[in-house]
Amino acid sequence: MANITEIARQAKVSRSTVSRVLNDHPYVTVQKKEAVLEAIRSLDYVPNRNAINLSKGKTNIIGVMVPQINHPFFNNLISGMGEACSRLNLSLLVTPTNNDFEKEKVSFDQLRYKQIDGLVIASTVSSAEFLAEVNRHGPIVSCEWSEGSHSQVYIDHSNGIELIMNHLIERSYEKIALCLGNPDSGVGKSRKNAFYEFVDKSKIIHLKEWYFEKKYSFEDGRAVMNDLYGLSALPRAIVVGNDYVAAGIIHQAKLLNVKVPEDLAVTGFDNQSISEAMGITTIDQPIHQLGIEVIKTIDSLINGQHKNVGNTLPLQLISRQST
Amino acid sequence: MANITEIARQAKVSRSTVSRVLNDHPYVTVQKKEAVLEAIRSLDYVPNRNAINLSKGKTNIIGVMVPQINHPFFNNLISGMGEACSRLNLSLLVTPTNNDFEKEKVSFDQLRYKQIDGLVIASTVSSAEFLAEVNRHGPIVSCEWSEGSHSQVYIDHSNGIELIMNHLIERSYEKIALCLGNPDSGVGKSRKNAFYEFVDKSKIIHLKEWYFEKKYSFEDGRAVMNDLYGLSALPRAIVVGNDYVAAGIIHQAKLLNVKVPEDLAVTGFDNQSISEAMGITTIDQPIHQLGIEVIKTIDSLINGQHKNVGNTLPLQLISRQST
DNA sequence: TTGTACGCGTTATCAT
DNA sequence: ATGATAACGCGTACAA
In the predicted structure, residue A38 carries a pLDDT above the cut 70: yes
Mean pLDDT, residues A221-229: 97
Q: What is the pLDDT of residues B272-284, one digit of tens each?
A: 989 999 999 999 9
Q: Does A50 touch chain B (CB under 8 A)?
A: yes
Same domain, A27 and A145: no
Q: What is the pLDDT of residues B207-239, one digit of tens each?
A: 999 999 999 999 999 999 999 999 999 999 999
Q: Does A51 touch chain B (CB under 8 A)?
A: yes
Hey, CA dihedral for A30, A34, A37, A43, is it positive or negative?
negative
Closest residue in chain A to residue B100, using alpha carbons only: A86
Whether A54 and B59 lie within 8 Å, measured CB to CB = no
Q: Is residue A55 part of a domain?
A: no
Q: Name which of A110, A62, A118 is nearest A89 in CA terms.
A: A62
Q: Is residue B322 part of a domain?
A: no
Q: Is residue B274 part of a domain?
A: yes
Same domain, B305 and B274: no
Mean pLDDT, residues B77-100: 97
Chain B window 1-20: which residues touch A at a Cβ cutoff of 8 Å?
A: none
Same domain, A293 and A150: yes
Q: What is the pLDDT of residues A44-88, one digit of tens each?
A: 888 999 999 999 999 999 999 999 999 989 999 999 999 999 999
Same domain, A194 and A268: yes
How many structural domains are present in chain A? 3
Q: Is residue B271 part of a domain?
A: yes
Which residues have a Cβ under 8 Å from the Cβ of B104 and sit 6 or more positions away?
Answer: B65, B97, B124, B125, B126
Same domain, A35 and A65: no
Same domain, B299 and B274: no
pLDDT of A1 reads 62
Same domain, B162 and B244: yes
Higher local confidence (pLDDT), A137 or A238? A238
pLDDT of B309 reads 81
Which residues of chain A does B244 touch, with a Cβ-Cβ cutoff of 8 Å? 273, 277
Q: What is the pLDDT of residues B188-204, one digit of tens each?
A: 999 999 999 999 999 99
Whether B273 and A272 lie within 8 Å, measured CB to CB = yes
Q: Which residues touch strand D (CB under 7 A)?
A: A 3-5, 15-16, 19-20, 22-23, 47-48, 51-52, 54-56; B 12-17, 20, 26-29, 31-32, 51, 54-55, 57
In Å, what is the CA distance from B187 to each residue of B244, B247, B273?
17, 20, 21
Whether A112 and B78 lie within 8 Å, measured CB to CB = no
Whether A76 and B70 lie within 8 Å, measured CB to CB = yes
Q: Which of B50, B76, B103 sits opposite A54 (nearest CB)?
A: B50
Chain A interface, best mutation among B49, B74, B256, B320, by max A CB count within 10 A: B49
Long-range interactions of B35-42: CB distance < 8 A, separation 24+: B35/B11, B36/B7, B36/B11, B38/B11, B39/B6, B39/B7, B39/B10, B39/B11, B40/B7, B42/B10
What is the value of pTM for the model shown? 0.89
DSSP state of A210: G
Q: Does B103 touch chain A (CB under 8 A)?
A: yes
Same domain, A112 and A259: no
Q: What is the mean pLDDT of chain A?
A: 93
Write the CATH number for B71. Answer: 3.40.50.2300
Percent of chain A with pLDDT over 70: 99
Q: Is residue B196 part of a domain?
A: yes
In the predicted structure, residue B120 carries a pLDDT above the cut 70: yes
Which residues of chain B does A114 touch, with a Cβ-Cβ cutoff of 8 Å? 48-50
Same domain, A244 and A297: no
In Å, what is the CA distance from A182 to each residue of A191, A211, A212, B257?
11, 13, 10, 34
In the predicted structure, residue B127 carries a pLDDT above the cut 80: yes
Q: What is the pLDDT of residues B10-30, one digit of tens each?
A: 888 888 888 998 888 888 888
Q: Does A320 touch chain B (CB under 8 A)?
A: no
Do A235 and A195 form a contact (C-beta atoms < 8 A)? no
B172 burial (CB, 10 Å; 0-12 / 13-18 / 19+) is exposed
Write the CATH number for A25. Answer: 1.10.260.40
Highest mean pLDDT among A129-138, B4-13, B83-92, B127-136: B83-92
pLDDT of A27 reads 83
Q: What is the pLDDT of residues A167-198, one digit of tens each?
A: 999 999 999 999 999 999 888 999 999 999 99
Whether B278 and A46 lie within 8 Å, measured CB to CB = no
pLDDT of A206 reads 97
Q: Is residue A143 part of a domain?
A: yes
Chain B window 250-289: which residues touch A at a Cβ cutoff of 8 Å?
A: 251, 254-255, 272-274, 277-278, 288
Same domain, A163 and A147: no
Q: Is residue B203 part of a domain?
A: yes
Closest nucleotide relative to residue A16's CA, C1' based: C3
Through-space separation of residue B28 CA and nucleotide D2 C1' in angstroms: 8
Whether A49 and B113 lie within 8 Å, measured CB to CB = yes
CA A309/CA A140 separation, integer angstroms: 11
In the predicted structure, residue B305 carries a pLDDT above the cut 90: no
Q: What is the pLDDT of residues A147-161, one digit of tens each?
A: 888 999 999 988 999
Q: What is the mean pLDDT of chain B?
A: 93
Q: Give the domain extent around B121.
A: 61-155+287-313
pLDDT of A187 reads 86
Q: Is residue B34 part of a domain?
A: yes
Same domain, B175 and B277: yes
pLDDT of B1 reads 63
Q: Which residues touch strand C (CB under 7 A)?
A: A 13-17, 20, 26-29, 31-32, 51, 54-55, 57; B 3-5, 15-16, 19, 22-23, 47-48, 51-52, 54-56
Same domain, A29 and A105: no
Percent of chain B with pLDDT over 90: 76
In the predicted structure, residue A307 carries a pLDDT above the cut 80: no
